[in-house]
Amino acid sequence: MDQKIDITKYVAEQSGLPTDAKSLKKWTAQWWCNPRQKPKGGLKLTDEGFARLTTQFNCHKITLEEPIEYTNQMILRFDNWITCPWYITNKHIYVFNDKTAVELVLFSGNVRRFFSAKAMSLDKTA
């Protein structure tokens, strides 16, 4: 099963919401920016999804070095490289995984440096 579906089902159960297939499809569409199933990544939360997950899980707030200008490329990079649920504003990114939070903090919230390091690590493994 998809990580997104597992998380959605758990949060719905804990919130007392129905977890039948039709309801899970509805919650997935409402809580995730990309409701399609994906083997890795694709865990960007909507406003409602972020509000739901913060009631069930701890999240880490990382202040970004400079305000973000959203581009499709930036969102796709985050979507592919952050493998835990995440939510972003102009000044902060919220992640629900300790390791990812540490990685972002080590780069002082500098998104460009974070992306460069991820790209370099992919080059070394290829």
Ranges of each domain in the chain: 3-125
Per-residue model confidence (pLDDT) at position 37: 78
Contact 56, 7 (CB under 8 A): no
- How far are the Cα atoms of 5, 9, 10, 37, 84 from residue 16, in angstroms, in the given order? 16, 10, 10, 24, 23
H or E element: which one contains 95? Answer: strand 92-95
- Average pLDDT over all residues of the chain: 85
H or E element: which one contains 12? Answer: helix 3-14
Per-residue model confidence (pLDDT) at position 86: 93
Report, as ranges of residue numbers, the positions in the chain whose pLDDT lies below 50.
126
Q: Which of 61, 35, 64, 66 is nearest to 49 (CA)?
A: 35
